[in-house]
Structure 1
Amino acid sequence: MTEPHPARHYLFFAAPAHGHVRPTLPVAAELVRRGHRVSYATTEPFAAEVGATGAETVLYRPALPDFAGAAPGDSPDWLPLALTAAIAESSALLPTVVDRFGDARPDVVAYDTTMNPAGRLLTRLWQLPALEFSPVFLPQRTSNPGFSLAAMLRGSPQDGAAERPAVRRFREDLTALLAAHGAADVSPLDFVTGFQGPRMAFFPRDFQPGGDSFDERHVFVGPCLDPSPPSAAWQQPSDGRSVVLVSLGTSYGNRPEFFRMCVKAFADSPWHAVLTVGRAGVDPAELGPLPAHVEVHRWLPHFAVLPHARVFVCQAGMGSVMEALSCGTPLVLAAQAREQQMVARRAVALGLGTEVPGGKDPTAEALLDAVGSVADDQEVHASVAGLRERIREAGGTTRAADVLERLGAG
């Protein structure tokens, strides 16, 4: 019989965005269930969800009113803007955490990779073991020959043109952050590329491009899902119609033209469409009169519908895609941002669904055709079933907690 690990204190934090916080919450809850102490530094909008895990909530004041909106997905400067936002958020978080735990430091720091400026500075300051969570693809040295983070940090132009202001600001802000926290002796390049600790990916190895090239420091646990039943009830249609679920996630729900197009697509179709627009998304009243077989919800747990859906239309966010594949539901992808385009391309390459023609602005006819095509494609269903099995084998929340316990045990 395996001896239980001694109780440890884990400090968690993530970028204040749903796609970064939510994958970590079941892991925090599992560690608490096993008798460990978990402190989770977060912002007010996520306090209730964090508190529900049993973790101690440590609130800090965010640097940005809308972290997810700080780097528009269609901007050519998306990456340096996102990295600069992470530096700003790290600067806001660090004083709170250092003041709170300076005399009673945790045993392990586990943080979302987007917040790696704060995570790496804390582990350097406190000399603690650390783990980086990754809800997005892990970086590959050869995955994008046209882009070099090292060149960006050195100030070298990427395409022979002058350095863009967003890139310069990223380098300057990172240099200032290092100096402010006792790491002026570390170059930005060494700081960004020198991390040798473990990384944990919230998707299976098979979904990562070049997954076989990552060494044992990289642990692919798959999605860590909440095992409790959905908090909201949903009734299957009684008329025998096939169900299609449509969602653009939490960041892109305020697109009335997209959801009107969906209503048009399914109005005269044999599908029962379930549209979720998000609590901060479009007002359902803006979508006009709805057919009886088209329903619109401000919010509905995907897991209430996905087990019954034949197809999931989504924005290709990693969390949404993993939820669908965990339920064995094929995908129709309408990527809204660059990061999502990478996820969509990978899903299509693995035969898990299709990208709808028109990208984030498809026509009603194109969407309906894509949904029907995927629903009837037996090769897609077989590929989805195979990936679903890889997700099950990856271990999920249980394996994630096991890894963190071993890290805490030394």
Structure 2
Amino acid sequence: MTGKHVLYASIPAWGHVYPVLEGLTELVRRGHRVSASASGSFAPEVGKAVDVVRYDSPMDTAHVELSDMGNVLPLMLKETRAAYAALERVVREDPPDVIVADVLSTAGWLIGQATGIPVVRTWPVFASNSEFSLHQDYGSRSDTDESMAVFFAAVADFLDEVGLSSSVSPQRFFDNEADRNIVLFPREIQPRGETFDERFTFITPCIRPAEDSPEVGWLAAARPLAVVSLGTVFNEKIGFFRTCVEGVERLGWHTAAALGDKVPPERIGPVSDRVLLRARLPMIDALRHASVAVSHGGLTSTVEALAHGVPVLVAPQIGEQRGVADSIERLGLGVRLPEPFTAAELADVIKEVVNDTAMADRLALFRRKLRGGRSGGEFADAVEAAFV
């Protein structure tokens, strides 16, 4: 196949970027040119794999309460404006043959609407169709009639500015569909996965390689090890981290915790030498040596844990994460923690999980499934199918 130009559009969130990097790299290996939008803090990592389309992302530097849709909606529109301008320049100067757009990259979808360039949507989160909606089934949105009215008015102005007001309504800006979709995890994890038709291609996930971080020596010697994380967004719960450290300490285990950039390590301590606290934990290195993961239930981080055969104890904070907890329990690959939970309760759950031989067998089988496909190759095949 003659080399094509692929334009990838995402948002500045590692849980959305990491799952596609191997697939984008495979496209390059096959002789295609790949350009990818990336803001300042993401550009170095993305640039290792593909050409970077730099832009200043409002989301990358935002300091707002993301559980409040009154904050999220205006930020979402600002992100779309910034990304659309960058993508539009690429399309004008070096037109791509296909646009691959993350489900939250409305700018990528809109560029496709404006130009007629085929769009392939990627889903690092649960996909939606007529039978399942994350928003409806798990109440993952907190918008009100008032906030939506203000948002739609601002969207209408933007659509008019970019010449799309006659073909795209403000409602379609928010809830739109694509004819081609790549779901970045196996169908078994997807709620009501059997209802998704041929427009949705479920692939073996692309799992990041070992990071060979400075912490790898400590992690390799820390047995047994519990990995603790609340992700990169809703991670200011100092009490959560303290409870997890105390619960794991009761077992005499080691703890490696990713605190994010909002919780200083000294707010958790003092801690023993069995505890490693980092703002950003080398997660793959940690999971390679972990016996259990305690997390918020982000889908990407959960799939990464399962790909290493690690059971996941989920403390969900938002609708999507409740969905992940339900899927993990349905598959018998982990448990949902009580809300709230004590250190003693966490210690008991950890003991129960690590002594569950049936769960260990299920984890081993699912690990082989997550590792047994072509991952990046499956992603590249699905993108190539969109070339016209």
In structure 2, the residue matched to 1:155 is: none
Shift of 1:135: 0.8
**Aligned CA distance change for structure 1 residues 345 and 169 (closer, same or farther; 3 Å):** farther
CA contact (8 A) 1:252 1:281 kept: no
Greater mean alpha carbon deviation, residues 384-393 or residues 330-339: 384-393
CA–CA distance in structure 2, aligned partners of residues 66 and 342 of structure 1: 28
Shift of 1:11: 0.8
Pairing of 1:53-72 with structure 2 (within 5 A): 53=49, 55-64=50-59, 66=61, 69=64, 71-72=66-67
Q: Once the two structures are aligned, what percentage of the paired residues are identical?
A: 31
Higher mean C-alpha deviation, range 337-346 or range 229-238: 229-238
Shift of the alpha carbon at 1:83?
A: 5.3
**Greater shift in the superposed pair: 225-234 or 121-130:** 225-234
In 2, Cα distance between equivalents of 1:185 and 1:237: 56
Decide which of 327, 342, 348 is 1:369's aligned counterpart. Answer: 348
Q: Are residues 1:383 and 2:362 paired?
A: yes
Q: Which residue is equivalent to 1:347?
A: 328
* Matching of residue 397 in structure 1 with residue 386 in structure 2: no
Paired position in structure 1 for 2:89: 99
Please give the TM-score of this superposition, normalised by the length of structure 2.
0.89
Q: Deviations over 1:35-90 (max 9, x none)?
A: 2211111211111111111x221111223464595531xx4x4xx86555333311
Distance 1:194 1:109 in 2: 15
Cα deviation per residue 1:236-291 (whole Å; 9 max; x = unaligned)?
6798842211111222443322212222222232322222223x142222222222
Distance in 2 between residues matched to 1:146 and 1:257, nearest whole Å = 28
Secondary structure at the counterpart of residue 391 of structure 1: helix
Figure out how many residues of one structure are paired with residues of the other and give that number. Answer: 383
Unpaired runs of at least 5, structure 2: none
Give the distance between the partners of 2:233 and 2:177, measured in 1 at CA: 30
Match of 2:124 in 1: 135
Pair 1:170–1:246, CA change in 2 (3 A)? same
Instruction: Sort the Cα spacing of 1:316 and 1:328 in 2 relative to 1 into closer, same or farther, 3 A.
Output: same
Shift in Å at residue 357 of structure 1?
0.9
Question: Aligned to 2:198, what secondary structure does the other structure show?
Answer: coil
The CA distance in 2 between the partners of 1:239 and 1:59, in whole Å, is: 40
* Counterparts of 2:287 and 2:237, CA distance in 1: 22
CA RMSD in angstroms comes to: 2.7
Q: What are the ranges of 5 or more consecutive residues in structure 1 without an aligned counterpart?
A: 153-157
Q: What is the CA-CA distance between 1:103 and the residue it aligns to?
A: 3.2
TM-score (norm 1): 0.84
The offset of 1:208, in angstroms, is 0.4
Partners of 1:66 and 1:300 in 2: CA distance: 20
Q: Does 1:226 align with 2:208?
A: yes
Map 1:7-406; keep pairs closer than 5 Å. Answer: 7-53=3-49, 55-64=50-59, 66=61, 69=64, 71-72=66-67, 75=68, 77=69, 82=72, 84-116=74-106, 118-143=107-132, 147=136, 164-186=145-167, 187-189=169-171, 195-227=177-209, 229-235=211-217, 241-278=223-260, 280-358=261-339, 361-406=340-385
Contact in 2 for aligned 1:30/1:397 (Cα 8 Å): yes
